Amino acid sequence: MPYLKDAAQMDIDFIGGLDPYTIDGAIERTIDFTVQLALDHNKGIDIHLHESGQSGLDTVNYLIKKVNENPVLSKKTFISHCFVLGKLEKTKQEEIAEQLGAAGIGIVSTIPFGSLIMPIPVLYKHNVTVLTGNDSIIDHWNTWGSGSVLQKANLMAQLYGYSTEFLLSRSLKLATANILPLDDKGVQQWPKAGDTADLVLINASCSAEAVSRVSPVQSLISQGNIVY
């Protein structure tokens, strides 16, 4: 905990932890400490939760409770992995997803498949922010990891049957932190004058092709500077 206190004073955006029951043996004490630290230092929260049994569900429920008590943490709180959602029956998935959406708690998923399939469509249904990422640059935890979030979007589209041009184009938001060039009605919403000049240029005729073909990256622009 002293290390987390030191980290909270650094120039970072999020603080968090790992499996509070398994690691610390105390869900409420650990979450309370993390929440208070985030409030004291104006940080977001990201809890990496692998526990898929009752302790996992209890952790999710308690975090929802704490964020509802502290609305300033809404839209700034995420649960990474959150495998327990994939183990719940459908009605319970819907219930928890609705509560996560109402509390403004997002899910960061690696889009697992095989023995565990996350209910991403259910999360989208209840307006839960879903992001993706890798555990390292090339994802050493995953034999097939490439580090590409576009590949994750492609995997998600295959996994949940998002095969039409429209659904493929919507799947791009997984790779872009929910920013899409066109809204659901086809109206341009990005890029516009005044937007931050963070761009990834890819060789594709449209968003659907970018996802379905995992189109190659041609250039990266960060804060208006060409870095690749």
Closest CA to 77 of 104, 110, 108, 49: 104
Query: Is 8:43 a contact under the CB 8 Å cutoff?
Result: yes
pLDDT tens digit sequence for 143-170: 777 889 999 999 999 999 999 999 999 9
Radius of gyration of the chain (CA): 18
Tokens of 108: 């960061």
pLDDT at 224 over 80: yes
pLDDT at 4: 87
- The DSSP secondary structure of 172-208, one letter per residue, reads GGGTTTT--SB-TTS-B-SS-TTS---EEEES-SSHH
Overall average pLDDT of the 2-27 stretch: 93
pLDDT band at 135; cut points 50, 70, 90: confident
What pTM was computed for the model?
0.94
Closest CA to 165 of 206, 120, 202: 206
Strand, coil or helix: 17? strand
pLDDT at 136: 79
Interatomic CA distance for residues 87 and 78, integer angstroms: 19
Is omega for the bond preceding 191 within 30 degrees of 0, making it cis? yes
pLDDT at 26: 94
pLDDT at 129 over 90: yes
Closest CA to 181 of 189, 172, 193, 171: 189
Phi-psi region of 161 (alpha: psi -120 to 50; beta: other; left: phi over 0): left
Tokens of 42: 């104006």
pLDDT tens digit sequence for 169-217: 999 999 999 999 999 999 999 999 999 999 999 999 999 999 999 999 9
Tokens of 111: 């889009």
* Amino acid residing at 1: M
